[in-house]
Amino acid sequence: MPGVIVDCALYRDGRRAADPADISDAVEQARRSGDAFLWIGLYEPTEEEFSEVTGEFGLHPLAVEDALSAHQRPKLEVYDDSLFLVLKPTRYEEGGATLVTGELMVFVGDCFVVTVRHGAANPLGAVRARLEQSPEVLRHGPTAVLYAVADAVVDHYLEVADALHTDLDALEAEVFTPDGAGASGSASRIYAFKRKVLEFRRATAPLTEPMARLASGTVPFVHPPSQPFFRDVSDHLTRTNEHVEGLDRLLSDILAAHLAQVGVRQNDDMRKISAWAAMVAVPTMVAGVYGMNFDHMPELHQPWGYPAALTVMVGSIVVLYRMFKRRGWL
């Protein structure tokens, strides 16, 4: 269990007390005190490792199952003894290679907060450190932790959205350069980027309804005075979702424009091929007619027949070339 617990601390009057040696004693102290709460952070616990915490706080079995399976969409569930919030933190790898998505489950009760993290994206270390430097915020108890965690995740969404937009501008410039407009692989790069935006949207869009409920001030275990703070988080989330929708629309437009540009380029190539084929076809026809070995053919036995045939061939090629050039086919 110690390897699974990232951090475990008892906070009294907004300040961190001595780290508890036993979770049961810490929970009892927090409930007796009235101004204290316990915050336990876990990383990818197994069912056996999580059972101790489950028993101490009386967490609902359905919420425990969701926290262990770690393949949940963002949601907010209210149970008799706790509140259960699922978040999906994201991290955009440097260079735009990968969008890393983790999962973060937050259990909030009257005197405890339990966070369960899955995946590499982790905003909690900085959140805990920042809260411990602000005892006036921590005095608000588990509600303060819930707000700080949600605020950190959503604020990072804005950073990821900005990074995606920057990379999309670079991709757009690359696709529409004269050399890159018809380059093979442009459509696949656009589609791969669209997949990143879709994955990011799966993290942000479903969180809208839970944040709206927390901002309403009617959710148990959340103090009504915190309503403006959760409303601020909800506003930031709305901005992120609008940003993501804009990225998705722009990607669709870029893909459509790129495919249209490829089609135009292919039409240009076909016109050029057709023009050259026409210029080759006329002399081929003349040569074919005069190569049929019949005795009675005009100009067959004339001394000027051969140069006349060559003149017709060259002349037809010159006429066709000038005509196609004037029309822009060559």
User: Do 231 and 316 belong together in one domain?
Assistant: no
**Same domain (yes/no): 161, 23:** yes
Residue 222 CA to chain centroid, in angstroms?
Answer: 31
Both 273 and 257 in one domain: the answer is no
Q: Verify that 135 and 60 share a domain, yes or no.
A: yes
Q: Residue 182: pLDDT above 60?
A: no
Q: In this structure, is the dihedral angle defined by the CA atoms of residues 120, 124, 130 and 132, taken in order, positive or negative?
A: negative
pLDDT attached to residue 186: 75
Together in a domain, 155 and 274 = no
- Count the alpha carbons within 13 Å of 21 in the hemisphere toward its beta carbon: 0
pLDDT level of residue 181 (50, 70, 90 thresholds)? very low
Residue 135 sits in a domain whose CATH number is 3.30.460.20
Clarify whether residues 77 and 207 are in a common domain: yes
Segment 273-282 mean pLDDT: 77
Average pLDDT across the chain, whole number = 83
pLDDT tens-digit map of 131-164: 989 889 888 889 999 999 999 999 999 999 998 8
Helical spans, DSSP H, in 20-141: 23-33, 47-57, 61-69, 124-132, 135-138
Kindly tell me if the per-residue pLDDT of 238 is higher than 90.
Answer: yes
pLDDT band at 321 (very low <50, low <70, confident <90, very high): confident
- Asked if 170 and 39 sit in the same domain, the reply is yes
| Domain final residue, candidates 243, 261, 279 | 261
| Sign of the C-alpha dihedral computed for residues 264, 270, 274 and 277 taken in this order | positive
Query: pLDDT at position 301, please?
Result: 65
Strand pairing category for 103-108 and 83-87: antiparallel
Pairing relationship of beta strands 5-12 and 15-16 according to DSSP bridges: antiparallel
292 and 223 in a single domain? The answer is no
209 and 288 part of one domain: no
The answer to whether residues 283 and 234 belong to one domain is: no
Residue 314 belongs to domain with CATH number: 1.20.58
Q: 296: domain range?
A: 267-326
What does the pLDDT read at residue 215?
92
Closest CA to 197 of 89, 72, 92: 92
Choose one of 244, 261, 278: the last residue of a domain. 261
* Number of folded domains that form the chain: 2
Q: What is the pLDDT of residue 187?
A: 76
Q: Which helix (H) or strand (E) holds 227?
A: helix 227-289
Closest CA to 145 of 112, 187, 169: 112
What H or E segment, with its residue span, contains residue 105? Answer: strand 103-108
Using the structure block, give the residue that is written with the tokens 């770690």. Answer: 70
User: Do residues 309 and 194 share a domain?
Assistant: no
In this structure, the answer to whether residues 129 and 11 fall within a common structural domain is yes
Burial 92-122 (b: 16+ CB within 10 A, else e): beeebeebebbbbbbbbbebbbbbbbbbebb
Q: Where among 235, 261, 287 does a domain terminate?
A: 261
